[in-house]
Structure 1
Amino acid sequence: MSNEPAAADVTRTEAWLMAARPQTLPAGAAPVVVGAGLAVGAGVFAPLPALFALVGALLLQVGTNFANDYYDAVKGADTEDREGFTRVTAGGIIDAERVKRAMWLTYALAVLVGVYLVYVGGLPIVVVGLSGVAAGVLYTGGPYPYGYRGLGDLFVFIYFGVVAVAGTYYVQAAAAGSAFPLWIPPDTVPLAAIVASLPAAGLSTAILVVNNIRDRETDAATGKRTLAVMLGYRGARAEFLLMVGTAYVVPVVFALTGYSLATLLPLLTLPLAVSLSRTVLSRTEGAALNPALETTGKLLFAHSVLFALGLALPALL
């Protein structure tokens, strides 16, 4: 059972930090770091598009955190039996309507940041940006929240992995061409950008898997059919191993296909991944999986920084 603090015990700043969940920001930044590292290695690095991509990604992360806090509470998915971190709406710490307004304001700021990226990347960024906002809201909101129907993992894999890495690379590569392209210019989304996105996609999804393993029983009781609820503990743990394993196969693939051996730097995080996997494969309670959740986020960030460095290093030497 979660130990929700009373509303009177929390300051306004502390409450909004709980809602925004700043501990998730390294996970939001990690794919952008990989996309920037790949761009440096390919000779197309552009600092301003990379910076705007980072700010946009972080705003989308926070907006999605607000959305999940609000919609899980109003739909009854957050109960007193939940073992996760404090949710401010369900805990009565911040009024639901204020959290909802904060969600839309954060998404509006993300769209504002996206104006420059649209100027650089054109119509493809319009499609990606608006679909990303819609996906963040409809994850737990709307009449048919897909996060309650086993599709949340796919959303995270695509938007917080593939789209974030490849999109970051794209806006930098496109910056060298004409403004507002109507379609994806040649060589701005190479196969390497898609493959390089898979570790971040896998580890981002692994964060959600740990969360859903922890909440499997309470989610099932409230009708929230996550993939962990559908697959059971064994299936969810197999998914976790697949996602984490992908993160260590891809650097080897890069090293074997003409890239520098520096792309193997993420393998330095393998001991942490093994230790984390042991916990996820054997525990279900929040006391063990809440720290594991934070560790998975740290693993994602460390792996991404090392992978970005490995991709960039040959161009820097």
Structure 2
Amino acid sequence: MSQSTENLSSFKIWLLAMRPKTLPAAMGPVIVGTAMAVGDQAFAFLPALAALLVSLLLQIGSNLANDVFDFKKGKDTEERTGPLRVTQAGLLTPGQVMSGMGVVFALALALGLYLAWVGGWVILALGIAAIISAIAYTGGPYPLGYHGLGEVFVFIFFGPVAVCGTYYVQAGYVSAAAWWASLPVGFLITAILVVNNFRDLPQDKKTGKRTIAVRLGPNGTKGEYFLLLAASFAVPLIMWLQGIASGWVLCAWLSLPFVLPLIQDIRTKQGKPLNATLAGTARLSLFFSILLSAGYLLGKIT
């Protein structure tokens, strides 16, 4: 334990474990799904609030699961370049982190039962699947993230499931606009994971973690990142050209100035400096979500 961490309070240690900087990624999908519901005159406050809390809890639970399971599998070594992991640093025991994870997922499930009461058994099934996937990302006999499946599951659960699920518990159905809007949200949040895996590529390769970044190599991973960003900004244009939403959805393009520095980072940086790129990609996903939501709403009132 370093001098910088040995005097931390229990609250600050748990805050480190929860990784609050990752939470904007959990907020974006709910913002978009709720904005779509508002625009379609289907807004419902309590289901929207419950969806937001569930999304945040799932993200926190996933962070705790990654912290403890990566430690147990010996994947967190001294060469780690990502943010501090509390289990590896000895700030919390594996048992404490597992208990915290259980409490967080139990709270998510409790709120999920309310959403299931509102939206039916499909919502409950999706919620349980999300919890299982969050644990199975680094835990269990076949950890998804270790076998190159991380991006697939992040896209599914942070894109279509989160956005369309948020819309569904308010409207009772899923509109074409909500479905299309879920795609760029999922792409951008997946891009956050790509930066994470690109940063950890050398260490993951050494420890046998077969992420997509390890499989594609540095240049292929850069291409994956660029493709996800390009696809994200293409979707609002498609929505407009197909008449799914008004041209106001192109407000999402106002987040383009955030893109060029990120592209430059991916092209030139390696290791720990990419932590700032990861945070920047998370900010981009949130700003894009807010601007897309605002554009959809403006199209409804103009």
Tell me, yes or no, if the aligned pair for 1:107 and 1:133 is still in contact at 8 Å: yes
Q: Which residue in the other structure is 1:271 paired with?
A: 257
- Cα distance change, pair 111–225 in 1 and its aligned pair in 2 (3 A): same
Q: SS state of the match for residue 88, structure 2?
A: coil
Tell me, yes or no, if the aligned pair for 2:249 and 2:299 is still in contact at 8 Å: no
Tell me, yes or no, if the aligned pair for 1:73 and 1:89 is still in contact at 8 Å: yes
Q: Which residue in the other structure is 1:147 paired with?
A: 145
Aligned mates of 2:289, 2:61 — CA distance in 1: 22
Structure 1 position 162 matched with structure 2 position 160? yes
Deviation at 1:144, TM superposition (A): 1.0
Q: Which residue in the other structure is 1:41 paired with?
A: 39
Aligned mates of 1:160, 1:5 — CA distance in 2: 37
Q: SS state of the match for residue 76, structure 2?
A: coil
Tell me, yes or no, if the aligned pair for 2:192 and 2:282 is still in contact at 8 Å: yes
- Cα distance change, pair 4–282 in 1 and its aligned pair in 2 (3 A): farther
Deviations 1:253-280 (A, max 9, x none): 1222332221011101112112211111
Of residues 146, 154, 174, the one that matches 1:189 is: 174
Tell me, yes or no, if the aligned pair for 2:247 and 2:299 is still in contact at 8 Å: no
Tell me, yes or no, if the aligned pair for 1:4 and 1:86 is still in contact at 8 Å: no
Aligned mates of 1:13, 1:224 — CA distance in 2: 32
Structure 1 position 22 matched with structure 2 position 20? yes
- Cα distance change, pair 145–216 in 1 and its aligned pair in 2 (3 A): same
Deviations 1:123-143 (A, max 9, x none): 101110000000000100001
Q: Which runs of 5+ in 1 are unaligned?
A: 175-187
Q: Which residue in the other structure is 1:280 paired with?
A: 266
Q: Which runs of 5+ in 2 are unaligned?
A: none
Deviations 1:46-66 (A, max 9, x none): 121111100110000000000
Correspondences of 1:224-303 after superposition (within 5 Å): 224-258=209-243, 259-287=245-273, 289-303=274-288
Q: Which residue in the other structure is 2:107 paired with?
A: 109
Aligned mates of 1:156, 1:120 — CA distance in 2: 25
Q: SS state of the match for residue 225, structure 1?
A: coil
Deviations 1:143-181 (A, max 9, x none): 11011000001111000111100111111112xxxxxxx
Tell me, yes or no, if the aligned pair for 1:7 and 1:92 is still in contact at 8 Å: no
2:250 maps to a residue whose letter is: L
Correspondences of 1:94-105 after superposition (within 5 Å): 94-105=92-103
Structure 1 position 308 matched with structure 2 position 293? yes
Correspondences of 1:54-73 after superposition (within 5 Å): 54-73=52-71
Alignment TM-score, normalising by the size of structure 1: 0.92
1:217 maps to a residue whose letter is: P
Correspondences of 1:66-145 after superposition (within 5 Å): 66-145=64-143
- Aligned residues between the structures: 301
Q: SS state of the match for residue 90, structure 2?
A: coil
1:12 maps to a residue whose letter is: S
Deviation at 1:285, TM superposition (A): 2.1
- Cα distance change, pair 139–62 in 1 and its aligned pair in 2 (3 A): same
Deviations 1:209-266 (A, max 9, x none): 0000000000111111111001101111111111111110011112223322210111
Tell me, yes or no, if the aligned pair for 1:138 and 1:145 is still in contact at 8 Å: yes
Deviations 1:267-305 (A, max 9, x none): 011121122111112222212x01001100100000000
Q: SS state of the match for residue 82, structure 1?
A: coil
1:98 maps to a residue whose letter is: Q
The percent identity for this pair of structures is 45
Aligned mates of 1:90, 1:275 — CA distance in 2: 32
2:50 maps to a residue whose letter is: F
Tell me, yes or no, if the aligned pair for 1:6 and 1:93 is still in contact at 8 Å: no
Aligned mates of 1:276, 1:253 — CA distance in 2: 24
Aligned mates of 2:163, 2:3 — CA distance in 1: 37
Deviations 1:47-97 (A, max 9, x none): 211111001100000000000001011111111101000000011111110
- Cα distance change, pair 263–75 in 1 and its aligned pair in 2 (3 A): same
Aligned mates of 2:287, 2:224 — CA distance in 1: 21
Shifted more, 256-265 versus 52-61: the winner is 256-265
